Amino acid sequence: MLVGSFFSWWYGVGWLTLGRRIAARTTGVLKFFSVGQLAGSLFAPFRQISAGRVQGGSLSMQLRAWGDKQFSRVIGAVVRLMLIACGLVGALFYALVGVVLIIFWPLLPVFPIIGLVLMATGFKL
């Protein structure tokens, strides 16, 4: 009875729970790195404080402010792209490890039996 309930949990609810946890962790990595927000603001100026619109200034001052904004946008895009790449690599790592776990999940209860048989037969690597 106990063994039957273990196997029904292992190949039913346990397997489903494992899949949900892997999906939640992968989503958590993407949220931790704010991949969606960073992608939405990819070309926004990066921490720009002073280079706003120059009203009533000379043409050279306006061009300088425009250049500062463009430089700030490029720096912001580079920093955001690096953070997005780190987040995607982390999420991909969790997803790949999760796929391996989901594949090996049904085999885990059999491994101790295989180990006992190999030990009894004197198998050596």
- pLDDT single digits (tens) 46-96: 776 555 566 777 888 888 888 888 888 888 899 999 999 999 999 999 999
Whole-number pLDDT of residue 91 = 96
**How far apart, in whole angstroms, are the C-alpha atoms of residue 11 and residue 34?**
34
| Model pLDDT, residue 51 | 56
Rounded-to-integer distance, Cα 83 and Cα 3, Å: 47
The 3-state secondary structure of 46-110 reads: CCCCCCCCCCCCCHHHHHHHHHHHHHHHHHHHHHHHHHHHHHHHHHHHHHHHHHHHHHHHHHHHH
Extents of the domains making up the chain: 2-121
Q: What pTM, to 2 d.p., does this model score?
A: 0.75
What CA–CA distance (Å, rounded) separates 12 from 1?
Answer: 16
